[in-house]
Chains A and B, each alone.
Chain A
Amino acid sequence: MMASRFALLAFLALLAGCKREEREARLAPPIAEAQGAVLVMPNGISGRPHDVIAAQGDAFRNNAYQLSQGKRLFEWFNCQGCHADGGGASGPALMNGWWRYGPDPVSIFLSIRDGRPNGMPPYRDKLTTEQIWQLTGYLQTLGASTASLASTSRNDAMHSRPAENRAPAQAGHTTRPSP
């Protein structure tokens, strides 16, 4: 009895492990399309992602590969050009746990996809939906207040900003940054 329960637990843990390392280099087109179908509140802030995100085990948050892809895109598309590394420049810092448009993934997704009025350009035509989700997942780990089991890859070179897989971000930043 005990043994079988233990075996079941172990099996579930293994299954969870399974999703953690899954990688899909070529998304099937219907899935890619579904990922873009977010339900948004009329004010363009917060909403609900399509069920397919949950069905994939929230991979953009929980899968090391997806997070690493997000990190790579963050550099390739020079997001730190406006958001700087932790300090914030013309754009907000993104890693202090403080979000102008709310912390939920759909808001972040929308900020990147459609842009925001005070100077955030839209990336709709530059990135695929999947890539935008990867960025979203990555940004969430930047400002996370709880540690996560999945972490991005670690840079070989010195980090110009705090490492992502450090202890919860809140420790360093507790006050609201001055605008």
Chain B
Amino acid sequence: MTRPPEDRDLRDTALDTGQEPDALERRLARIWRTPPGLVNALSTVDHKIIGRRYIVTAFVFLALGGVLAMLMRLQLAQPESRFLSPDLYNQVFTIHGANMMFLFAVPVMEAMAIYFVPLLVGTRNIAFPRLGAFSYWVYLFGGSMLWIAFILQMGPDVGWFAYVPLAGPQYSSGKRADIWAQMITFTEISALAVAIEIVVTVLKQRAPGMSLDRIPLVVWAWLVMAFMIIMAMPAVVTASSMLILDRLVGTHFFNPAEGGDVLLWQHLFWFFGHPEVYIIFLPAVGMISTMLPAFVRRPIFGYLPLVMALLTMGLLSFGLWVHHMFTTGLPRLGESFFTASSMAIAVPAGVQIFCWLATIWLGRPAFRVPFLFILAFFFTFVLGGMTGVMVASVPLDTQVHDTYFVVAHFHYVLVGGAVFPLLGAIYYWFPKITGRMMSERIGRWVAGLLFLGFNFTFFPMHILGLQGMTRRIYAYPAEMGWGGMNLFVSLCSVAMAAGFLLFFIDIFRSARHGEPAGDNPWEASTLEWATSSPPPPYNFVRIPVVTSASPLWDEKGSLPVVSGLAVNRRELLITGMGNATPEVRETSPQNSIWPFFAAIATSVMLVASIFTPWAVVWGAIPLTITLIGWFWPRGTPEDDS
């Protein structure tokens, strides 16, 4: 090394001479920034850029899935409709479901985490940022594969949970079910990658002083979600790989004729599938717990019970999966056990609701748009929870299984429980991401249209279900007498679509012409509001020190900060798991194009393996090359503590 040692380890304290007031900012910006240009855009590892892409992509998938939903409503608006062919209808409902669950709901929650976890815990970048870049590309390619397949009429048509034997080799000819299984593989890879980043960031990169009881609730929720992803996803990885193997090379995992077991599929899928609902739901309630204080002007009531509720729900959700299988002829004892556990999860959910009600009760609510979404959540989610307790009981479930009652129920919990809080969160954090406010006036319309549109669309479906209308039918005869209600549902769905349209319009408008927001437009208490909007590439000029659970409220004047981090390379602070005491200074990876190449190699391998098993063998070669490029040592000495 020819450079003098102090040049290699230039600290921010060295710049405190006061000669150049913004020397520190300029240096940090130079080190952390993503230079312009296509290659640089593809190589960036900035969690904010990746997070933003992730969020935008997820919302594009939401819009596409919404279009499919409207197509289905158009088809069902009248009896014996010929608008969609049965085959197309099968593809449409399958892709609507798979898209919403795997390409929108789970990824968007991860996406929000990628953007906000580092800001909320006060660090400069997410842990393993290259993994995040890789995850995004894999997600994008996997999602595109599904939609391209759909355009080519190769869309999966076996339902979003692809039960065997329908999805098996005998009953699903062609490549449709393989597309489904591989799409799952794509999302698994990307979700697992993000989950690992979140766990490490939350546990090891919190700002000093942010002990476990000062972590913002939404970060707790993301942490639980990440652990759930790590524990639940392997089940579906196994399942989808076994399905692919059954179809491609003739293994017989799910083939009863050769000693396989079709129910095994349902167990594996729902062992993942049920926690998945909570993977979506927990971050959403976390968002509520974090947003609520800003709108009632007081800290959240019952921090500890809320954290406990998150953990309990995370844990319990792994013990419920069999309630999706009540009609498969299980032994009584099994049914009773899973009924009990399904009902038990209503307890922590109830605890949460009461904590929020107490928070609102004790505060002075300001009815801004995010708060309206929180209220919409309350109403809708409680209704969904009630029908949830209903379908948790075996006799009722046997009656309404696979009817529109179930369709209504899960839309109440998913849209009410996750989408409403998420939209509230978008209104809440949009100013942080773009530096501009979304329109309060349009926002009220959006909230109103969505709330009313949603309830009028989905509530009647309960009744349709009780009247016997089964899900996944592409047409029904006029004599069934479901026509009137279906027409009403379809008309109301237009209101919902209008609400979403307005939302997207508002996003586009506000991103350009919204009112400038300032650093902390809601006068909220968490760390992300301590930096500028949008945050600089390095997030914080100096890493803050946290002294309470509501740092920005309790440290009115200015936050205490850490000094002594290097300013000539990307460096962040690693802290202890429990009390967040500073441990070491650690380098954060540079931008790199290799994650992008690795994602391309992975995608080519996965797509080709739909057609031939040899793709796995030959595809491993380019993949290995890209991974070698990715992990090539940088040649700089390791850092010291």
A interface residues, Cβ below 8 angstroms from B: 14, 17-18, 20-26, 63-65, 67-68, 151-158
Contact = CB atoms under 8 A, between A and B. Distances in A.
Nearest to A68: B173
B83 interface: no
Which residue of A23, A25, A152, A157 has the most chain B CB atoms within 10 A of its CB atom?
A23
A23 B170 contact: no
B176 A21 contact: yes
B254 to A, nearest CB: 9
Contacts of A64: 173-175
SS class, residues of chain A in contact with chain B: loop
Given A21-B176, A25-B86, A64-B174, A153 B152 contact: no
Contacts of B256: 156
A70 B535 CA distance: 62
Given A14-B152, A21-B154, A21-B176, A154 B170 contact: yes
23 contacts: A20-B154, A21-B175, A24-B87, A25-B85, A25-B86, A64-B173, A64-B174, A65-B173, A68-B173, A151-B173, A152-B173, A153-B169, A153-B170, A155-B170, A155-B257, A156-B165, A156-B170, A156-B252, A156-B255, A156-B257, A157-B258, A158-B257, A158-B258
Contacts of B154: 17-18, 20-21
B481 interface: no
B168 A156 contact: yes
Nearest to A67: B173
B87 A25 contact: yes
A21 B170 CA distance: 16
Interface of B: 85-87, 152-154, 165, 168-176, 250, 252, 255-258
Nearest to B89: A25
A60 to B, nearest CB: 13
Contact of B153 (A21, A26, A68, A155): A21
A153 B85 contact: no
Given A68-B173, A156-B165, A17 B257 contact: no
SS class, residues of chain B in contact with chain A: loop
A152 B87 CA distance: 18
A63 B153 CA distance: 12
Given A64-B173, A157-B258, 14 more contacts: A14-B152, A17-B152, A18-B153, A21-B153, A25-B87, A26-B85, A64-B175, A67-B173, A155-B169, A156-B165, A156-B170, A156-B257, A157-B257, A158-B257
A21 B176 CA distance: 8
B152 A21 contact: yes
Contacts of B250: 154
B572 to A, nearest CB: 42
A25 B87 CA distance: 7
Which residue of A22, A153, A155 has the most chain B CB atoms within 10 A of its CB atom?
A153
A23 B165 contact: no
Contacts of A158: 257-258
B15 to A, nearest CB: 49
Which residue of A26, A154, A155, A158 has the most chain B CB atoms within 10 A of its CB atom?
A154
CB-based closest 6 A-B pairs:
A68-B173, A157-B257, A64-B174, A153-B173, A154-B169, A64-B173
A26 B165 contact: no
A156 B169 contact: yes
Contact of A156 (B87, B152, B176, B258): B258
A127 to B, nearest CB: 19
Contact of B174 (A14, A20, A24): A20
Given A68-B173, A156-B168, A156-B169, A18 B257 contact: no
Contacts of B85: 24-26
Nearest to A150: B174
Nearest to B474: A25
Contacts of A156: 165, 168-170, 252, 255-258
Contacts of B169: 153-156
Nearest to B252: A156
Contacts of A157: 257-258
Contacts of A68: 173
B144 to A, nearest CB: 13
Nearest to B152: A18
A155 B170 CA distance: 5
Nearest to B254: A156
Contacts of B172: 153
Contact of A65 (B165, B168, B170, B174): B174
Nearest to A69: B173
Contacts of B252: 156
A114 B16 CA distance: 97
A151 B169 CA distance: 11
A18 B257 CA distance: 32
Contacts of A21: 152-154, 174-176
A68 B169 CA distance: 11
B50 to A, nearest CB: 28
A6 B85 CA distance: 33
Nearest to B87: A23
B474 to A, nearest CB: 9
A74 to B, nearest CB: 14
A3 to B, nearest CB: 16
Nearest to A18: B152
